[in-house]
Structure 1
């Protein structure tokens, strides 16, 4: 078993994240796919077929040499485009909430001593916390994410001045940790949304007692490591469809013009199946980041470390 509420150093975050999946991975992903499976399939299917249709029309426009082809295509299919976008948004919102909260509820149960968690137990957590989930969704959608996007946009603009690269390097992991800390704290404490948000921001830079060294660098470093791992795995799976697409262009249009749409037929189906698998793998691998950030959250809760230590002392005294 992994002890959750304890102080960890940088190396412990890395090893314990992998140890978590080594110890609980089978049960974790069994529940993950039972709960998320249908949503994952629907999202990937809708996204792939929508992207295929859009991409196919884009290539058709290039083949015909019509610069305004895409504009006319959207005008003629505006209704279908709006319905598709609404469907993708609803599916993506549902998947994001379930996918994001599943590691939170699972970790909470494991931290309380459970080892074999049932799907019904996780579903009951979703049902029991439905009101808080709705408030969290509103807070993230209309406050946290817009502010994060503005900060990200400012950093992106500053890239042209080079300083933006440095800011982005520190901003992205910090924003990710603030959002995950907010979520973990919101469902692991009695604090409200804004109180948890305040705690999530403050805990990036100091422990609650204020007497220990800042945990910022070990939180930042651990998140960077897993973001790199996530990026490498995602690139491995997206590299295949990218190479398939570019090779089809080079082999089918040696003179620089398309004779036929490379996204049609068997090749097109294979390309988007692999693209869908790549998207699915990316969503699954994100659990590494969620669990790692959860361990950081439990590291930050030094108030609970003390309670556990006192409980262990009481147990020793009882055994004696």
Structure 2
């Protein structure tokens, strides 16, 4: 078991993040896919239906009938169905987003409670259901706080961008904002006594505790993940361009319709793989931030030190 409450410097944050991945990665991702899988599958299915619909309407109309207004005509004729489908798609997307964002705080709460990864997906689902009201309050308050927060962050980011030298450091600004929200949710879900605004205040205090080592570690970790995502995206782009060149040799020919279908299947698969990869890497970023959260919480509250003293005091003579 990884000791959560422990003072960490820059290097130890990285070591414990990768150590957690190595030791509990299989358990983490297995439960991640189990808990979120059904809604991701629904979203993927709906996305596939959208891709196929787009292909049938636009490519079928353009390639088969030279109808450049096929999509516009379809939307005008089926406005009600499109609105209903779009609304369901947005709702499912929001559910997927909330579940993915809440998974890591719930996972670490159970990890702390069981003193290790000795729990199953059912307990994670039960915790998610039990925290629906907290998640709803968190989302609403987060939107409210985001208005002034992003004005301030936007001004700071603009000043950094103007100096040019500050552009590479924008990722650290993003890491700070991301950690502010994530540590708030972790504290809110863990605590039965603190209100949401108290948790935001606590999170703000954490943000400036051991500021440079913690922010540096989170920013560089986000950069590493961002590079991995970029490499995946570049590979995706190369495959898409290669498929596109093969499929567009004669786009006005009716015989090319089957090739267009093949192209869209390839594009769809690549998009889904990219989406899943981004979800999983985003969870890893949250995992890194959770390690920082417990480290900074130990700095403020000395939880591990107090527990050690209590164990010594309760030891039999």
Coarse TM-score class (shorter-chain normalised): 0.7 to 0.9
Q: How does 1:117-136 map to 2 (within 5 A)?
A: 117-136=119-138
2:173 — aligned with what?
171
Partner of 1:78: 79
Structure 1 runs of 4+ aligned residues shifted over 6 Å read 58-69, 155-160
Deviations 1:246-295 (A, max 9, x none): 2233334458x654468732332133123212211211121211111111
1:184 CA drift (Å):
0.8
Give, in angstroms, the shift of residue 194 of structure 1: 1.1
* Alpha-carbon contact 1:10-1:218 (below 8 Å) kept: yes
Aligned to 2:117, which of 112, 115, 118? 115
Query: Can you list the C-alpha shifts for 1:179-216, whole angstroms capped at 9, x where unaligned?
Result: 1011111112222111111222232113xxxxxxxx22
Which residue of the partner structure matches residue 299 of structure 1? 295
1:201 to 199, 204, 214: 204
Match of 1:249 among 232, 244, 248: 244
Please say which of residues 176-185 and 62-71 is displaced more in the overlay. 62-71
Report the TM-score, using the length of structure 2 for normalisation. Answer: 0.82
Question: Contact 1:44–1:280 at 8 Å: present in 2 too?
Answer: no
Kept after mapping to 2: 8 A contact 1:203/1:300: yes
Is 1:44 aligned to residue 44 of structure 2?
yes
Alpha carbons of structure 1 residues 151 and 251: separation in structure 2 relative to 1, 3 Å: farther
1:277 aligns with 2:279: no
Question: What whole-Å deviation, never above 9, does each CA across 1:41-71 have from its counterpart, x for those lacking one?
Answer: 1122323442554477666788688876655
Label 1:100 to 1:59 Cα distance change in 2 as closer, same or farther (>3 A): same
Find the counterpart in structure 2 of residue 210 from structure 1: none
For the aligned residue pairs, the C-alpha RMSD in angstroms reads: 3.3
Shift of 1:103: 1.2
CA distance in 1 between partners of 2:194 and 2:268 (Å): 44
Q: CA deviation at 1:106?
A: 1.3
Structure 2: runs of 5 or more not aligned:
none
Residue among 197, 201, 217 paired with 2:212: 217
1:312 aligns with 2:308: yes
Contact between 1:50 and 1:84, CA under 8 Å: does it hold in 2? no
Kept in 2, the 8 Å contact 1:181–1:293? The answer is yes
The unaligned stretches of length 5 or more in structure 1 are 207-214
Q: Structure 1 residue aligned with 2:225, among 222, 227, 230?
A: 230
Q: 2:187 aligns with which of 178, 185, 188?
A: 185
Moved more, 59-68 or 20-29: 59-68
1:107 positional shift: 0.8
1:72 Cα deviation from its structure 2 partner: 4.8
Looking at structure 2, the residues matched to 232 and 297 of structure 1 have their Cα atoms a distance apart, in angstroms, of: 24
* Stretch of structure 1 that moved more, 63-72 or 219-228: 63-72
* Alpha-carbon distance, 1:17 to partner: 0.9
Aligned length: 310
